[in-house]
Amino acid sequence: MLKKFCSAVVFLLGSTPVLADYSTHPGAQSFVRTLVQEHQFEESYVLDMLRQAEKKQSILDAIARPAEKTKPWKDYRKIFLGEPRIQQGIEFWNNNKATLARAAEEFGVDEQMIVAILGIETRYGKYTGGYRVLDALATLGLDYTPRGKFFLKELENAFLLAREQNVALPELTGSYAGAMGYGQFIPSSYRAYAVDFDGDGKADIWNNPVDAIGSIANYFRRHGWQRGDIVVTRAHIASDYDKSVLNEKIRPHFTLSELAQRGYTPVNAKLKGADKAVPLSYDGEYGKEIWLGFNNFYVITRYNRSQLYAMAAYQLSEELRYAFEKQVR
């Protein structure tokens, strides 16, 4: 239910009031002007939405401690890989088998990867976030200096999304960072990649797993995923291997032949010297792990920029694939 902004200050023992009228925020003027001049919104409407937006300290606290930045791989991996998440994934896969098969065929994206993304993001739609997108993006866009410009742009996209989909902006819900639905699409991603995969006239990623599956598959296809291609492989290293090229956050550009000269050799001997990869290093449960990430690995990082996330998604996808195939043997 829509909660209108209340100007009365509520005092709680030991807490600091965080309610704010974002319509008067110093950064709001240019934002309002953009929506009015570039997108033909009524100024009164934009100001009303900003008045209703509530500053959330819990959002600012959460974004300051993401697991990708605070946990080593050996601990980060445990968050997402475990028997409960795998079993829930197999249940979701079985319940949506035909849709996943159709998505794999139409978009060229492996079924296990779609399921893995859903598993990591929201445990297959069970936990999609209870924040209002309006609150999350106003808080981060106007009161989170490190990435305020990014989140303010997402708030702009949220206004556009609500108008295009004919929904009330304050009713959109998601994570503390404004990510929405089964696959946690930020507003710009929804506008660019969400699809109506069941043909009912609406791309409903909040309540409809069919649309969520199609939308994730479309996202991966549009970023260059190749169905059936390798994602990562373990690597041997020479004693004098080149550490300077580890964990580059760019599209793989070294061929395997070039990486061999830098001290990296794939464990998978069938790979060709012309294939391109990026060397990766993680602090694992039993020491340092060296991997080579290929184009499909890079594509996962287009969904989430963290390479730890990409590795967790890949490893979960493999566990899901193995468990799904095992049940029909």
Q: Per-residue pLDDT tens for 271-304?
A: 989 999 999 999 998 999 999 999 999 999 999 9
Determine if residue 178 is left, alpha or beta; phi over 0 gives left, psi from -120 to 50 gives alpha, anything else beta: left
> Can you say how many angstroms the Cα of residue 189 is from the centroid of all Cα atoms in its chain?
10
- Tell me the whole-structure pTM to 2 decimals: 0.90
Annotated catalytic sites, by residue?
121
CA distances from residue 50 to 92, 130, 134, 246, 323 in whole angstroms, order as listed: 38, 19, 8, 44, 48
Task: Note the pLDDT of residue 4.
Answer: 35
Span 238-259, average pLDDT:
95
Task: Note the pLDDT of residue 65.
Answer: 80
Span 152-156, average pLDDT:
98
Compute the distance between CA of residue 213 and CA of residue 99 in angstroms, rounded to an integer: 7
Task: Note the pLDDT of residue 244.
Answer: 96
Q: If you write DSSP's letter for every residue of 119-161 in order, what string do you get?
A: HHHHTTTT----EEHHHHHHHHHHH-GGGHHHHHHHHHHHHHH
Q: Per-residue pLDDT tens for 201-229?
A: 999 999 999 999 999 999 999 999 999 99
- Is the pLDDT higher at 8 or at 219? 219
pLDDT at 77 over 90: yes
Which phi and psi angles does 110 have, rounded to 5°? -60, 135
Mean pLDDT, rounded, of the chain: 92
Q: Per-residue pLDDT tens for 60-75?
A: 999 988 766 668 999 9
